[in-house]
Amino acid sequence: MRHLLRIRIMKQLALLVALVAPLPALAFEPVTTRDGFLSLVQGKTLAGDGVSLRVGPDGSIAGRGFGLRVTGTWDWQGRFFCRTLDTAVRDFPRNCQTVEIQGATVRFTADQGAGDTADLRIR
C-alpha cells in the first residue's frame, strides 16, 4: 500500500513539474511569399530598436527611425523582402532580406539571410 501511495505521489509531482516548467520557445517560421508577408503587416506598425515603420501594399515604406523621417520602397523577389530606405542623413541601398515570424515578432535578416538581423514587433 505504501508503495502504491509513493508511486501516486511521484506521478503527481512529475505532472506538477511538467505544468510549471517553462515552455520551449517557439521557433521563428519563414515567410516566403509577398501575400504571406502582407497578411502579417498590412495596416500595422513594425516597431523596435528606435524604429517605427509602416509597410504598404503599394510598395511604400514610411515612418521614423532614431528620430528621423524614413521613407522607402519594397518589393518581393523570390523568397526575399527587398527594400531601399532613405533618411535625411543617410540612404540605405537595396537589400534583399529573409523574413521570419514568431508570435508578434518579425525578424528581418539582411543580405539574403547572411547578414545582420532586426527584430520588430507588429503593433
pLDDT one-digit tens code per residue, 77-118:
999 999 999 999 999 999 999 999 999 999 999 999 999 999
> Does the pTM exceed 0.75?
yes
CA distance 35 to 16: 43
CA distance 56 to 31: 17
**Residue-level pLDDT at 26:** 77
Q: Which residue has the cell 513539474?
A: 17
**pLDDT tens track for 60-86:** 999 999 999 999 999 999 999 999 999
